[in-house]
């Protein structure tokens, strides 16, 4: 992004609330790599980043691989510990999620949980100074 945007992102905490997730987020932000991420979390030494499916479909495979390699370079080791990285996607059309390793439970339960977070908190980016865009024609703002 070449201009400032608002970015609502969710951190999915596991039982130990490893704050190195925030260190990873900060590193990604400072390198301009955080904007496609909607949800991220750590579980059992694995950092998972979930992006909108349109991110990977709107850029070339070369650019996607470049982005992933940059993320891996920044986040493979944080505060002296090495982390495994996982990448997932949130399907905005079919409402499907490749949850990777973000939560240890049945895929359908995790998918529903993360979809609900996405929908309730309206995760994503939009230009600074503009209203948050409506997701669909049925969504209304307060006062409508």
User: What pLDDT, on the 0 to 100 scale, is given for residue 139?
Assistant: 42
In this structure, are residues 22 and 34 in contact, taking their beta carbons and an 8 Å threshold? no
Average pLDDT over every residue of 63-86: 91
Which is more confident, 23 or 137?
Answer: 23
pTM of the predicted model as reported, rounded to 2 decimal places: 0.81
User: What pLDDT, on the 0 to 100 scale, is given for residue 142?
Assistant: 43
**pLDDT band at residue 72 using 50, 70 and 90 as cut-offs:** very high
Q: What tens digit of pLDDT does each residue of 82-97 get?
A: 888 988 887 654 445 5
């Amino acid at each position: 992004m070449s201009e400032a945007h608002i970015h609502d992102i969710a951190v999915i905490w596991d039982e130990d609330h490893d704050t190195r997730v925030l260190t990873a987020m900060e590193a990604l932000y400072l390198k301009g790599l955080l904007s496609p991420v909607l949800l991220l979390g750590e579980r059992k030494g694995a950092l998972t980043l979930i992006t909108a499916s349109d991110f990977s479909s709107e850029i070339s495979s070369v650019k996607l691989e470049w982005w992933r390699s940059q993320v891996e370079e920044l986040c493979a080791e944080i505060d002296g510990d090495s982390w495994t990285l996982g990448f997932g996607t949130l399907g905005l059309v079919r409402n499907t999620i490749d949850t990777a390793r973000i939560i240890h439970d049945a895929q359908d339960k995790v998918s529903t949980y993360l979809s609900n977070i996405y929908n309730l908190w309206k995760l994503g980016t939009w230009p600074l100074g503009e209203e948050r865009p409506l997701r669909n024609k049925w969504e209304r703002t307060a006062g409508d």
